[in-house]
Amino acid sequence: MQKRTLGTNGLEVSAIGLGCMSMTAGYGPPADKAAMIHLIRAAHDLGVTHFDTAEAYGPFANEELVGEALQPIRTHVTIATKFGFDIDLETGKRGPGTNSRPDHVKAVAEASLRRLRVDSIDLFYQHRVDPAVPIEDVAGAVKELIAEGKVKHFGLSEAAVGTIRRAHAVQPVTAVQSEYSLFHREPESELLPALAELGIGFVPFSPLGAGFLTGKIDENTQFDPTDFRNIVPRFTPEARKTNMALVHLVKAVAERKAATPAQIALAWLLAQRPWIVPIPGTTKLHRLQENLGAATVALTPADLREIDDAASSLKLEGARLPEAVLKMTNL
């Protein structure tokens, strides 16, 4: 697996990471724990060195899973986790909003260290910007954690460029995580240029459009009742029917390149910037192997122009998240 560097502080990771959220939350019931431990370790055997989790995934269950799976190979991997939601650290009960008060950030770090079975968190993201706490205070709290050796790198998720700049002035930001794929290209207008200027890496979540770009979903697909896509506007049957035009485009390129649609979608992301590290998630070994195969798919400048030209003529339907969730972003 090729390596890439996030930020200017030398955080080197595999070109494709593994998002672990779906193993315990979001896309249906939690998967079998033993099987997921095997999958995480198999990912490392296949070259993955960057694993993404969060206290909110569960809550807590995902960090515990990742910590157990990676403990035997801790020195060979980087683990990213997140703080910022209003979650009771004793009960796991989730409040209605965010909480990035410095004392809470530090308490979350201590709890995450225990669940992840590590002495230091490699990359600690603010999961969502807290409108009640100045970002300078948040960055200051993480700076103190870094000074104490409990955190190595600071990250932000779903943050606006102005917020990133303010945080970066207090504590250098190593990586920003936001949604980015052929299905959602908004970061291209302001975020990517700013990250290039500041020397900050980018970690796209949902790089396969929450599975849509794999070509395995159409307007007739039925999701599990607990799957978050049931409440996402772009995943209504009507929106899916319209948006299949994008899938047909990706499939056409995949056939010509002897690749799968998922591999083309990921290869396209990798081709955008050398400091982009997507984190596709899966609970299936064959999908993991397929996703990682994207690192060997070479898209030429002509391929990229063809994709951009064709995609620019498509009108996609539906917001990427429910309105209430979008309001929690800082974009």
Positions annotated as catalytic residues are: 57
Spatial separation of the C-alpha atoms in residues 285 and 288, rounded to whole Å: 5
Spatial separation of the C-alpha atoms in residues 241 and 237, rounded to whole Å: 6
Spatial separation of the C-alpha atoms in residues 304 and 238, rounded to whole Å: 28
Reported as type and span, the H/E element at residue 81 is strand 78-83
Give the DSSP letter string of 121-181: EEEEEESS--TTS-HHHHHHHHHHHHHTTSEEEEEEES--HHHHHHHHHHS-EEEEEEE-B
Nearest to 159 by CA among 184, 121, 186, 126: 126
Spatial separation of the C-alpha atoms in residues 36 and 272, rounded to whole Å: 31
Encode burial over 217-251: b for 16+ CB neighbours within 10 A, e otherwise. Answer: beeeeebeeebbbeebebbbeebbebbbebbebbb
- Residue 7 gets the label, from left (phi > 0), alpha (psi -120 to 50) or beta, of left
**Length in residues, the chain:** 331
Rg of the chain over Cα atoms, rounded to whole angstroms, equals: 19
